[in-house]
Amino acid sequence: MALRIIFMGTPAFSVATLHALVEAGHQVVAAYSQPPRPGGRRGLDLQKSPVHQAAELLGIPVFTPLNFKDPEERSRFRALDADVAVVVAYGLLLPEEILNGTRLGCYNGHASLLPRWRGAAPIQRAIMAGDRKTGMMVMKMDKGLDTGPVGLTREVEIGPTTTAGELHDKLMQVGAKAMAEAMAKLEAGNLPLTPQPEDGVVYAAKIDKAETRIDFSKPAVDVHNHIRGLAPFPGAWFEAGIGGRKERIKVLESEAAEGEGHPGEVLSDDLVVACGSGAVRLVRLQKAGAKLLASSDFLRGTPIAVGTRFS
C-alpha cells in the first residue's frame, strides 16, 4: 500500500527525489516549496521554483508559505492527513508542529555523511575542505539542525578534480534512489534509525560572497579545492590588471601544476600561477559578462604576460 506523502523542496536538486517517489507509486498529496522569486532578464518576473514547476506538471497541489507561523498554515498541513513528509533542500526551518504533523514524521535527504557538514552548503564545503568522500543520508528530522537519527546512508567518492556542480548532479540521483528505498522500508516497517555520533560534528555554513575571492597565498591544493568547490556557482575569482584597468575573472576549473614564485604570479604562458606553496594551472576562465572559455581561448582574446600578479 502506497504512502501518502507531503513533499517539501525548492531547487532542481530536489526534483529527482519528487519524481522517484511518484514513480515508486506513492501518493504525493501536496508539494511545499519556497515562494516565487523575482527573476527573468530584468529581474521583474516572478519565477516559480523547480519543485513548484515539476509538481504542477505532475498535477500535485503546491503551497508556498513564507513560514509556518500562521496557525492556518499548520492546520492546512495537518489536514492533508499524510503518512510522512519528505524534505529535500526546502530552505525553511520546520517547527515541531510540522515535524509531528504526519503519522510517521518528516524525513530529510541530506547531502553529507552526518554529523559532518550539517547545514546549508554541504556539497561545496566538502570539496573546499578536500574531503575524499561524502554521501546522501535519509534522516528523521527533529527540532535541531540536521541532528536527527539516520535511517539510510549512501556514500559517494569525491575525485581530485570533482567540482561542486558534478558532485551536486551525482548526489541528486543517488539521493533520489536512497529516499525511494527508505520510503519502501518505512512503509514495510523496516527502517531502523541510528542516532548520530556526538563526535565529528562540522557545520556547512552558507557560502558568503566575501569568501569567493581566490587567496593565492594559500597552498596550491587549497586554492584548487577552493576553485572546484565553488564551480560552477557562485564561482571563485581573482582580479588582474588588463588594458589599464582591474578586471574580475572567475575560474571554473584548475589543476595541479609545477612551479614556485610569489603568490599570484603568472609563471608560464599557459596560466600556471604560483601559490603560497606549489602552483595551479587555470583551465577555464570567464570575464564579467563574457563567455566561459578554455585558458588557451581566453588568452587569445586577453593576453596575460608571464610575471603578471593576480590578486
User: How would residue 39 be classed by pLDDT, with cut points 50, 70 and 90?
Assistant: confident
Does domain 209-301 match CATH 3.40.50.300? Answer: no
Residue 143, phi then psi, degrees to nearest 5? -75, -10
Annotated binding-site ranges for (6S)-5,6,7,8-tetrahydrofolate: 112-115
Whether the per-residue pLDDT at 173 is higher than 80: the answer is: yes
> Can you tell me the mean pLDDT for 21-49?
90
Of 173 and 43, more confident:
173
Contacts 24+ apart (CB under 8 A), 240-247: 240/304, 240/308, 240/310, 240/311, 241/308, 242/302, 242/304, 247/287, 247/288
Task: Domain 4-203: give its CATH architecture.
Answer: 3-Layer(aba) Sandwich (3.40)
> Can you tell me the mean pLDDT for 275-295?
96
> CA of 49: how far to CAs of 93, 143, 164, in Å?
18, 25, 21
CB 166 within 8 A of CB 131: no
Separation CA 280–CA 255 (nearest Å): 6
Whether the per-residue pLDDT at 169 is higher than 80: the answer is: yes
Cα dihedral across residues 15, 17, 18, 24: positive or negative: positive
> Can you tell me the mean pLDDT for 270-279?
97
Q: Tell me what pLDDT residue 66 has.
A: 95
CB 85 within 8 A of CB 107: yes
Separation CA 208–CA 118 (nearest Å): 16
> CA of 199: how far to CAs of 45, 114, 115, 196, in Å?
46, 10, 8, 9
Whether the per-residue pLDDT at 242 is higher than 80: the answer is: no
Of 133 and 246, more confident:
133
**In CATH terms, are 4-203 and 209-301 the same topology?**
no
Average pLDDT, the chain: 96
Whether the per-residue pLDDT at 120 is higher than 70: the answer is: yes
Which stretch of 22-26, 82-86, 246-250 has the lowest confidence by average pLDDT?
Answer: 246-250
What cell does 88 get? Answer: 529535500
Separation CA 258–CA 272 (nearest Å): 8
Task: Name 79's bridge partners.
Answer: none
Give residue 220's Cα distance to chain centre: 24
Domain chopping of the chain, boundaries: 4-203, 209-301
Annotated binding-site ranges: 112-115
pLDDT exceeding 90 applies to what percent of the chain?
Answer: 94
Whether the per-residue pLDDT at 43 is higher than 80: the answer is: no
Q: Tell me what pLDDT residue 241 has.
A: 85
CB 293 within 8 A of CB 286: yes
> Can you tell me the mean pLDDT for 13-41?
94
User: How would residue 41 be classed by pLDDT, with cut points 50, 70 and 90?
Assistant: low
Q: Tell me what pLDDT residue 38 has.
A: 87
